[in-house]
Amino acid sequence: MSRFTATCRRISRAPRTLVSRVISRRHSVATKRDQWFVDYHSDPSRQVVGLRDKTDQRLKLFRTEDIAGKRVLDAGCNMGAIVNHCVKLGARRVTGLDFDSAAVDRARTLYSGPTTAFRCDDLDNPLAALEPHDTVMFLSVYGTKELEDRNSILSRLAGLSQVMYFEGHHGDDPRQCAWVLLKYGGFQTIEFLGHTNDELRQDSIGRPFFRCDRVARDVTIVPELVEKHIHKDSAFKMAVVGRSGAGKSYLAKQWAADRRFDGVTILDDVNDRDQIRSTGRLVLLDYRAGTYIDEIDTFVFLDVDENTRLKRFDGDPLRQDDYNALLRTPPVQGNFLSFYRIEARRDG
Ligand SMILES: C[S@@+](CC[C@H](N)C(=O)[O-])C[C@H]1O[C@@H](n2cnc3c(N)ncnc32)[C@H](O)[C@@H]1O
């Protein structure tokens, strides 16, 4: 055990010599590149010309309240432009961590200051101490070759934070990213914010960008989301999935009478694929909805307190069958862009 600990400590101190898979030598060995990626960021204010952030587009997606006065970790910070941006937005403390020693040196030269700290470390190292932060940036790192165990790193970083900004890579399917964020991040909310510009590739539509948090929301978010998206040209398909007794039919009736849903088709428990596919603006309430709709934009999971649920069933024998049907339903599939876990009303 002490040899293992000593090995991990050595790795933490000298990541540039790291050859991965320290835990089991039976696994194949992946060599990590070091000192190869030192010109990633542009910073016109310092006459630095790099590959990205020529237009600062992705920086505009950060919410000030996620950063001002907060402790921020930029995991895979490269030469520190995002760290610097967080300082400008008023972060209390920003830590930039990267495996690439040359990039970290450059970050220190460019952006050292009273509220910044830079660390050369390997996110794969299980003994690398990572303190809790309010906000974690995990931008264009998830798919890089230097990550040996990307999902466990995502899970670990998510566990440290209340808010995470996540950016995928050129060619990444945003629906796949959203699914991975739900599966390994355990967030209450995963919002797809669109594609950010990718100056590295002319042929790219950009990189999928997300904001995730742990704020518990309630059903009032559904009409708000509908209002936000209804004016956009593109189709809008939302699935509100919840167990029997969560109050879906009650909500469907309420929303049908709500002017904010004008122009939106509300389907309650309608298992008709053709109708679902051919309806452009749709809010679908169903315990199966996550499994049979092909392209949901927004997936809302309606959580219900078990005692409330059972109280609603009281004296209704049909409900038991409904519950058994739910148990036979295959698990919800990851086919959405944004996800919201919300609390059902206790009185509804
Ligand atoms: C494509 S760059 C993105 C830089 C920055 N996050 C941004 O979006 O502007 C990926 C960075 O992740 C770092 N990285 C990759 N694997 C890492 C690991 N295992 N531990 C720490 N940093 C890592 C790389 O060294 C590189 O600087």
CATH number (domain holding residue 254):
3.40.50
Is residue 53 one of the residues assigned to a domain? yes
Query: Can you give the pLDDT at residue 82?
Result: 96
Query: Can you give the pLDDT at residue 3?
Result: 54
Can you tell me whether residue 166 is helix, strand or coil? strand
Report how many domains make up the chain: 2
165 lines ligand 1 (CB under 6 A): no
Can you tell me whether residue 94 is helix, strand or coil? strand
Which has the minimum average pLDDT: 30-39, 132-141, 190-199, 313-322? 313-322
Tell me, yes or no, whether 276 and 182 share the same domain: no
Distance 147 CA to ligand 1 centre (A): 9
Tell me, yes or no, whether 185 and 151 share the same domain: yes
Report the predicted TM-score, pTM, of the whole model to 2 decimal places: 0.87
If you take atom 24 of ligand 1, which residue's CA is the nearest one?
A: 76
User: Chain-wide mean pLDDT for the chain?
Assistant: 84
Cα–Cα distance measured from residue 257 to residue 187, given in angstroms and rounded to the nearest whole number:
31
Strands 189-196 and 338-343: antiparallel
Helix spans in 186-315 (H): 221-230, 248-256, 273-278, 289-292, 306-313
User: Looking at residues 85-109, what average pLDDT do you find?
Assistant: 96
Query: Can you give the pLDDT at residue 329?
Result: 59
Distance 279 CA to ligand 1 centre (A): 42
Is residue 348 one of the residues assigned to a domain? no
Indicate whether 18 pLDDT > 60: no
From residue 254, give the alpha-carbon distance in Å to each of 184, 248, 269, 336.
34, 10, 15, 25
User: Please, what is the end-to-end C-alpha distance for the chain in angstroms?
Assistant: 55
Tell me, yes or no, whether 185 and 238 share the same domain: no
Indicate whether 310 pLDDT > 80: no
User: Looking at residues 306-318, what average pLDDT do you find?
Assistant: 74
120 lines ligand 1 (CB under 6 A): no
Q: Which domain holds residue 56?
A: 2-213
43 lines ligand 1 (CB under 6 A): no
Confidence of residue 318 (pLDDT cuts 50, 70, 90): low
Evaluate whether 64 touches 90 at the Cβ level (below 8 Å): yes
- Ligand 1 atom closest to 167 (CA): 8
Tell me, yes or no, whether 208 and 224 share the same domain: no
Distance 39 CA to ligand 1 centre (A): 12
142 lines ligand 1 (CB under 6 A): no
103 lines ligand 1 (CB under 6 A): yes
Per residue in 112-130, pLDDT (tens digit) is: 999 999 999 999 998 888 9
Domain boundary among 213, 229, 260: 213
Indicate whether 324 pLDDT > 70: no
Query: Can you give the pLDDT at residue 305?
Result: 81
From residue 78, give the alpha-carbon distance in Å to each of 17, 89, 97, 137, 190.
18, 19, 8, 12, 25
- Ligand 1 atom closest to 169 (CA): 1
Cα–Cα distance measured from residue 287 to residue 324, given in angstroms and rounded to the nearest whole number:
12
Distance 249 CA to ligand 1 centre (A): 47
- Ligand 1 atom closest to 78 (CA): 27
User: Looking at residues 212-220, what average pLDDT do you find?
Assistant: 94
- The DSSP letter of residue 52 is B
66 lines ligand 1 (CB under 6 A): no
Q: Which residue's entry shows tokens 């898979």?
A: 21
